[in-house]
Amino acid sequence: MKPVHRSMHAALCLLLGVSVIAPAAAQPPPPPDASPPAASPAAPPATTAPAAPEDKPPELPPIPLHRLYLASLTIFRYNPLGFESQKRLVFQRRLMDSPSIVLHDTFVSGAASLKLNPAYLKIGPIVELQPLALLNVRVGYDFLYYFGSFGYLQSYPSAARPYSDAARKATERSAYSTSGHHVFIEPTLQAKVKSIALRSKLAIEYWNMGLRAGDRVFYDATLDTLVPNKGWVLANDSDLVYILDRLTFGVRFSGSWPLYRAEDYGVTGLPVGFGGNRHMRLGPVVAFSFTTREYTNFNKPTLLAIAGWYLDHPNREGALPYMLLGFSFSSDFLSAR
């Protein structure tokens, strides 16, 4: 996980009601030719305790007014199996040039996104707004095209259909090429206290794929569930981590909840809403950045490792964990150092 900006520390302090007291003004020195008055012989000279050093608030790093950068993430995933390269070309504008720790790291951006793997591609625009250091909102659209390879895309007439790895392997010849649309809204809350950071992202996703006649759901490997066509899925990734210079480690919770309607089963009397094919997992996350430089031609090259044991899943509960390995970096093109 990319480390949360240092301004989160003070922003959370503000929410908790911790005030920041400005240091007192320094007293002017005496004139150069002034001499101290003579002390009375009957009384010892007065002594004054040395003044304690003043604590100054840390200076916030400058943020460029405009940024144009490429963000890259390449991942390999197991259980379910997958390999993907993600690229975003982002133009970002700082919202405020404010010394306030709550308003310092605020921006609006627009991006062109591409996700490519051996089974499909996703391409589309993303708009991102961070009005406060604690809150980020991302809205995006993907046009999807499945190649019909590696057993993807498979669709079914009912959300009650088994979709384990073995079940999909047995029917992989029924996979077909198709296209569709994916819209998502991702509000994220983030905060940092000293070296401890918390980040929670909710994804609200709408899917509309060109499925075969009579099919109502399809399998998506990223969500690892049967997605209701022309319907909604909720997903969450929440991280609690400790940041130690270039090393970040902690724990991640992930979950997916398809929102089925009665017609997604083809029959009535089965669970709707959050009832069916949900899953949750929990496990460690570790990231190591080879450098911490910002706004350069090669920002923060980072290795990422995530493992997660399934707390709830129709097909994957047991000893085998979810595992992900990734490598990320970004490259600035405007005023890169």
Structure-token match 């012989």, residue found: 41
Point out the least confidently predicted range of 56-60, 100-104, 153-157, 292-296: 56-60
What per-residue confidence (pLDDT) applies to 1?
42
- Sequence-distant (6+) residues with CB within 8 A of 225 are 163, 219, 233, 256, 258, 277, 278, 279
Reduce the DSSP state of residue 166 to 3 states and report it: helix
Q: What is the DSSP annotation of 28-81? A: PPPPTT--PPPPPTTSPPP--PPPPPPPPPPPPPP--SEEEEEEEEEEEEETTT
Question: pLDDT by residue (tens digit) across 126-181?
Answer: 999 999 999 999 999 999 999 999 999 999 999 999 999 999 999 999 999 999 99
Task: Tell how far CA 290 is from the center of its chain.
Answer: 20
Q: Which amino acid is at 291?
A: T
Reduce the DSSP state of residue 7 to 3 states and report it: helix
Closest by CA position to 204, among listed 183, 224, 222: 183
What per-residue confidence (pLDDT) applies to 103?
85
Question: pLDDT by residue (tens digit) across 12-61?
Answer: 344 334 333 333 333 444 444 444 444 444 445 544 555 555 555 566 66
Residue 230 or 267, more confident: 230
What per-residue confidence (pLDDT) applies to 37?
45
Place 285 in a pLDDT band, splitting at 50, 70 and 90: very high
What per-residue confidence (pLDDT) applies to 293?
87
Place 235 in a pLDDT band, splitting at 50, 70 and 90: very high
Residue 268 or 280, more confident: 280
Read off the pTM.
0.79
Place 284 in a pLDDT band, splitting at 50, 70 and 90: very high
What per-residue confidence (pLDDT) applies to 41?
47
Q: Are strands 135-146 and 178-193 parallel, antiparallel or unpaired?
A: antiparallel
Place 62 in a pLDDT band, splitting at 50, 70 and 90: confident
Q: Across all residues in the chain, what is the average pLDDT?
A: 84
Q: In what order do the strands lie in the sheet with 217-220?
A: 155-156, 217-220, 225-228
What per-residue confidence (pLDDT) applies to 28?
44
Contact 133, 101 (CB under 8 A): yes
What per-residue confidence (pLDDT) applies to 274?
65
Residue 200 or 34, more confident: 200
pLDDT at 296 over 80: yes
- Please give the domain boundaries of the chain with CATH numbers for all domains: 7-12+64-332 (2.40.160)
